[in-house]
Amino acid sequence: MINVKEHPHHLKIDNTLVVVVDMQEPFLQDIFDRERLLNNVRILLQGARIMHLPILCTTQYAKRMGDTIPEIKELLPPLLPPFDKIDFSCYRSVPFVSELQRSGKKQILLC
């Protein structure tokens, strides 16, 4: 039998959380190959749901910039609305950081 050593940076299902950051129209309108990006994010979120990974989402000043685009929002947990923030850094949002810490997850998959 081959002894395969696990790499220390491999994501572990019981320690991973997905964070979807600011998937809002103003930020996506000029993105190169937008449809490919959105398709990849959708695939990632579908996989996260299948594996029962927690998913957090943020919006940047939704009052002015709008909500998460519908094709992404439909894949987000319905009982946990996006964390709205006014700083670009998610980590400056106290509610977001509180939820992240509450989860106990140490590995974050950003998209």
- For residue range 12-57, list pLDDT tens digits in order: 999 999 999 999 999 999 999 999 999 999 999 999 999 999 999 9
Contact between 25 and 67 (Cβ < 8 Å): no
The torsion of the CA quartet 110, 38, 59, 98, rounded to 10 degrees, works out to -30
Report pLDDT for 1: 62
Residue 4 DSSP class: P
Local structure of 52: helix, strand or coil: coil
Percentage, residues of the chain above pLDDT 90? 90
Q: In terms of pLDDT, which residue wins out, 10 or 19?
A: 19
Contact between 18 and 109 (Cβ < 8 Å): yes
Amino acid at residue number 13: I
The two three-digit tokens of residue 30, written as one number:
């000029």
